[in-house]
Amino acid sequence: MTNITDKKELSPSNIWIISQGNQTRGNQTQFDFAEILEGAGRKHVKEYKISDLARYMLNPQSVIIYKELIGCKIVFKKPLMASIIDKIKNTFSKNHEDTSTDRYSKVLLSSKKIDFLSLKDKDLKKHLSNLNNLLTPYDSTIAFLSKLDVDSVADITGICKDIGDNKSFLTLQGSIQDKINYVTGSILKKVKVILEKSYLSNGLFEMRGYDFKSYDSLKTYKLLKVCIEGKDKYCVLSPDNKLDFWVEDDGLVNFMLLLEQSIKKDAKFYNFINLCLNGKAKAQKIFINRQFEIDYSRQRIPAIYKEVFKMHNMKEKEKDAVVNSLNNLQLGIAFNCVPQSDSGEKKLYTHISVMHNLKALEPIKTSMPVIYSEINKQAVFSEAGKYYLLDSIMGYQNV
C-alpha cells in the first residue's frame, strides 16, 4: 500500500486551483470584453487565474468515466389487460406514482467476480484474466439473457458498481438485441459512462474524468467576472483569449476559492491530491459540504484550540464559549481516492478539511479579543468568506 502520509510527496507538484483575482484599480481591471462577446463593449472585469484542475471542475461539458458493469434490469412488456388495470389504478391513485413496472421487471447481478485489475504482477494479472474469460459463459446473467425471448422485453438497463459497492443504472442504446449483446459482451468489465459534467450537484464533483497525471502547474487559464445587465457572471477563456465557456453556477467559483485554501493550509489534503498526480492513487470525488457538522466539546477539540487553551489561562466558562462557537458555521471539504496496492487490496481513503467561518467567533470577539486575534491571523479572506483550517480528518474503508 502506498504510504499516504509520506511528507516527501509534498514537494514537487505545486498544486493550485485559483488565484485571488486581479486587485488593481479597486479590485477591478478594465478589459475590452467586445473582443470576447460581440456587442458587449468595454466593461469592468475582475480577472482570476485558474489551473487545469479548476477548469475541469468548472467546465459544463460532458466527461467520460469508467464503471464496472455487473448486471442489468429487464423490463418486460405488460399484458394488455394488466396495462388497462394499472392505468385505471394510477388514475385514481392519490400519489399518481406508477409502481406497476416493478412487477414486470427482473434484476440480474453477476455472481462471478475475480478482482485482478489493480494487481501490479503482470503474469498473475494475465493468468487471472484468462481464467476470468474461461468462466464468462457460465455467468448467471449471461445464461439468462441467452434464453430470453426478445419479443417479451420492453427495455434493458445496465447496472454498474462504483467503489464502495454503490450501484447506478446505465442507459443502453439500440434495439433489445443490441442491449443484450452489450451486456453479455461487457459483463464484469469496465464500460464507458458519459456524465453531463463533472459537477454533479450540491457541492459534489466527479473527479474520475480528470487525467491527474497530465496536470501541469504552469498551465493557466483566465477566469473573468463581469457584470452583465446588473448580474455578475463568470466565464473562462481559451488560451487564445476567446470565450471558452460560461460558468453555469456562480457558487462554483466560491467552491474553487475554498478548495484552494484547503490545499494550501492542509498538508494532508495536498498530499492526497499529489498521490493522484503521481499515479499512486485514483481520485474519486470531491465534496464541499456547507451543512457539515462535527460536535466538538472540551473533551474533543481540534489541535489548534488545544494549543490556544495551553497558552492562555482561561476560565472554564471561557473555554465552553469557545467550544460552542466551533460548532457553528463549519464547512467540510472531502476528497477520496483509492491508493495503489501490490496485493490488490482496495481501500477507499477519505480526507476532510474542516474549514471554519470566522463569523462563528463573533460572540467571543469582545470578551476574548486575544483569542479572536490569534485565530483571525490564520484566516484567509476571499469572496467565499473568511475561513481558517479548523481540523483535518482522515479515514478509510475496505472496498
Q: Do 102 and 37 belong together in one domain?
A: no
Q: Do 48 and 95 belong together in one domain?
A: no
Q: Do 246 and 332 belong together in one domain?
A: yes
CA angle 18, 24, 30 (to 5 degrees): 95
Number of domains present in the structure of the chain: 2
Return phi, psi of residue 247, to 5°.
-80, 115
Residues 355, 203 contacting (CB under 8 angstroms): no
- Which stretches within the chain are classed as H helix? 24-27, 52-58, 80-92, 122-135, 140-146, 176-186, 251-265, 267-277, 303-311, 316-326, 362-365, 369-378
Boundary-marking domain end, from 163, 195, 227: 195
Whole-model pTM over 0.75: yes
Q: Do 38 and 110 belong together in one domain?
A: no
Q: Do 359 and 212 belong together in one domain?
A: yes
CA angle 59, 63, 68 (to 5 degrees): 150
Which residue range(s) make up the domain with 138?
Answer: 63-195
Tell whether 2 is covered by a domain.
no
Tell whether 1 is covered by a domain.
no
What pLDDT, on the 0 to 100 scale, is given for residue 10?
A: 39
Tell whether 357 is covered by a domain.
yes
Residues 27, 46 contacting (CB under 8 angstroms): yes
Q: Which three cell numbers stand for residue 284?
A: 474519486
pLDDT averaged over consecutive 10-residue blocks of the chain (399 residues)?
A: 44 80 54 64 81 98 95 89 65 54 84 59 69 69 93 96 87 96 93 96 97 95 87 90 91 96 95 94 96 91 91 90 96 95 80 97 95 94 95 90
- Tens-place pLDDT, residues 1-31: 445 444 433 344 699 999 987 744 444 556 6
Q: Do 377 and 238 belong together in one domain?
A: yes
Tell whether 93 is covered by a domain.
yes
Q: Do 165 and 50 belong together in one domain?
A: no
Q: How far is CA 119 from the centre of its chain?
A: 25
Boundary-marking domain end, from 126, 161, 195: 195
Boundary-marking domain end, from 164, 179, 195: 195
Tell whether 75 is covered by a domain.
yes
Q: Do 237 and 356 belong together in one domain?
A: yes
Q: Do 104 and 25 belong together in one domain?
A: no
What pLDDT, on the 0 to 100 scale, is given for residue 123?
A: 73
